[in-house]
Amino acid sequence: MAEVLVLVEVAPDGSGVRKTTLEALTAARALGEPSAVVLGAPGTAATVKDALAEYGAAKVYVGESDEIDAYLVAPKAEVLAQLVADKAPAAVVIPSTPEGKEVAGRLAIKTGSGFLTDVTEIAADGTATQVAFAGATIVHSKVTTGTPIYTLRGNSVTPEPAAGAAEEEAITVSISDAAKQTRVVDRVVEQKSDRPELTEAAIVVSGGRGVASAENFSVIEGLADSLGAAVGASRAAVDSGFYPHSFQVGQTGKTVSPQLYIAVGISGAIQHRAGMQTSKNIVAVNKDPEAPIFELADFGVVGDLNTVVPAATQQITARK
Amino acid sequence: MNIVVLVKQVPDSGSERALDSSDNTVARASADNVINEMDEYAIEEALTVKESQGGEVTVLTVGPAGATDAIRKALSMGADKAVHVTDDAIHGSCAVQTSAVIAAALAQMEYDLVICGAESTDGQVSVMPALLSERLGVPHLSGARKLTVEGSTLKVERQTDGGFWALEAQTPAIVSTWDTINEPRYPSFKGIMAAKKKPVETKSLADLGVDAGSVGLATATSQVLDFAGRPPKGEGVKVTDEGDGAEKLVGYLAAQKIV
């Protein structure tokens, strides 16, 4: 069976693999037998190996060196390109994070291949599905040159367990000077949150301009916490200083595709729709019955968010 | 410090956008074309660096003959001059091919710093600077929410989830900017008038020494097979809150087995 390389995304706090990795392993199975590639500091593979076995990795290629994390992106692309040359895989699947996309692009140049970013599905014949123009258009594409490289958009594929041998094979890490040009001097955590990561969360509750103030975002956070959800914000809310930019959902922010998306006080401008249109289930609360968000909503409440949302939060908490 | 800013003219993300059914490429002729919004942050950052370090800001774009609006916008904000790579053979090129064209153009320019926006709002591939870094062998500092220039050392705060990474590299280098890095200026009337007199150099593939057969739809490294509009969503339920909005909302979530 054809081998498909899957680049593993490790949680930054060392707690194991990110869900994106399990999604990528699942998607890769359409093309062949997935082999996981773990690149990072010494000791990284030990934290993720069990999960990789559980999600069908036949092999686990381990490239561990302090040099990988000391420089930005380029070392990973270099090691991965060497592995592609050695193993001649049928394809490479990478989680579609900012780093993952940069690795994919560099790998494409190094291996003379084509690549497709933010794919939501990969078919057995290699055809990938992408959504374009704020989710309004669905595109099918195929790589026609070299080893197809895909980056898989988070939450597009449901991870399905499948037993894999996860046979470990150490790979040599030898980083060229060319890949050591951008040094990562420090990694700084500014906001520590107990809420799920926005792009990985099964439920996202977002607030918009209608929330009216930074203080009032506690209404959004309250509902999110009652549902175990991540908190998002529209660009209007971020631009007004209600919530930090790293939580922005939309064209110039994060793209999310959760099971449930609750838009509160968000009108639904195309800028916002671009980041949430592929959510499975959309609920909207807005006082304006004409707000475009209702065109997308599976369930909408026309009303004042300051009464509806706290009441809903209370009822959800009471049901537990 | 000589700075090149990459800009792209794209269909306005606020208007109807489509693919052209004849060859599955972005329909640019029928669209309301504007400068890629994310590029304005790159231009602003280039002008800010120039103000503190001196030098010249050159705009580089690859696009059809009509892509001059994006160039004019950049020049009216304060860029000094522009290079416009245009050639019919480029139509339908994939990101890999386009990166070869841009790299060839950059190779003919003198630069210490190349600045790009985070992504284009049409293709949204967002890897062009990484491709150029790979082709040109210069460092890439990506996702910058802050850029500091200290002599030939560039320091960047790379935006991450809940924080940042501090990056450092030496010039020449490529920096891609996040939209938190600055607030782009509006062109002044004076700037708009001055832009009309600023030099715009047009280059063909032959000028760059790029083989026309190596770019374009026929030899692209990936191909769009087909596309379709997203199927319209079934009519959703909309209720008006009359004191029972929360109850109905929770009832819906319960019916969906979410609570």
- Percentage of chain A exceeding pLDDT 90: 85
Q: What is the pLDDT averaged over residues A181-202?
A: 90
A39 and A173, same domain (yes or no): yes
- pLDDT of A130 > 80? The answer is yes
Q: Is A269 annotated as a binding residue?
A: yes
Q: Residue A171: pLDDT band by 50, 70, 90 thresholds?
A: very high
CB atoms within 10 A of CB B12: 16
A41 and A169, same domain (yes or no): yes
In this complex, which of B37, B233, B259 lies closest to A316 when CB atoms are compared? B259
Distance separating alpha carbons of residues A281 and B70, to the nearest angstrom: 38
Task: State how far the alpha carbon of B69 is from the alpha carbons of A91, B80, B192, in Å.
Answer: 40, 15, 12
Residue among A252, A281, A302 with most chain B CBs within 10 A, to mutate: A252
Write out pLDDT tens, residues B109-139: 999 999 999 888 777 778 999 999 999 999 9
Q: Verify whether the Cβ–Cβ distance B228 to A281 is below 8 Å.
A: no
Q: Is A273 annotated as a binding residue?
A: no
Write out pLDDT tens, residues A202-246: 999 999 999 999 999 999 999 999 999 999 999 999 999 999 888
- pLDDT of B221 > 90? The answer is yes
Distance separating alpha carbons of residues A282 and A293, to the nearest angstrom: 9
A18 and A126, same domain (yes or no): yes
Task: State how far the alpha carbon of A73 is from the alpha carbons of A109, A181, B58, in Å.
Answer: 14, 10, 27
What the block records as the tokens of B168 is 């450092």
Q: Report the run of H or E that residue A303 belongs to, with start and end.
A: none
Q: Residue A145: pLDDT band by 50, 70, 90 thresholds?
A: very high
CATH topology classification for B3-219: Rossmann fold (3.40.50)
pLDDT on residue A278: 86
Q: Is A41 annotated as a binding residue?
A: no
Q: Verify whether the Cβ–Cβ distance B140 to A319 is below 8 Å.
A: no
- Percentage of chain A exceeding pLDDT 70: 100
Average pLDDT across chain B, whole number = 93
Domain membership of residue A113 (yes or no) is yes
Q: Residue A121: pLDDT band by 50, 70, 90 thresholds?
A: very high
pLDDT on residue B259: 87
Domain membership of residue A198 (yes or no) is no
Which domain covers residue A231, as residue numbers? 203-319
Residue among B126, B134, B147, B174 with most chain A CBs within 10 A, to mutate: B134
Write out pLDDT tens, residues A35-53: 999 999 999 999 999 999 9
Q: Verify whether the Cβ–Cβ distance A315 to B250 is below 8 Å.
A: yes
Q: Is A234 annotated as a binding residue?
A: yes
Domain harbouring A82, CATH code: 3.40.50.620
Domain membership of residue A47 (yes or no) is yes
- pLDDT of B14 > 80? The answer is no
Domain membership of residue A240 (yes or no) is yes
Domain harbouring A286, CATH code: 3.40.50.1220
A192 touching B (Cβ < 8 Å): yes
Residue A214 falls in which region: left (phi positive, over 0), alpha (psi -120 to 50) or beta: alpha
Eight-state DSSP code of residue B235: P
Domain count, chain A: 2
Write out pLDDT tens, residues B87-97: 999 999 999 99
Q: Verify whether the Cβ–Cβ distance B124 to A118 is below 8 Å.
A: yes
Residue among B181, B221, B224 with most chain A CBs within 10 A, to mutate: B221
Q: Residue A315: pLDDT band by 50, 70, 90 thresholds?
A: very high
In this complex, which of A102, A134, A187 lies closest to B130 when CB atoms are compared? A102
pLDDT on residue B124: 77
In this complex, which of A73, A271, A300 lies closest to B238 when CB atoms are compared? A300
Q: Verify whether the Cβ–Cβ distance A114 to B222 is below 8 Å.
A: yes
Q: Verify whether the Cβ–Cβ distance A307 to B246 is below 8 Å.
A: yes
A172 and A213, same domain (yes or no): no
Write out pLDDT tens, residues A266-292: 999 988 998 998 899 999 999 999 999
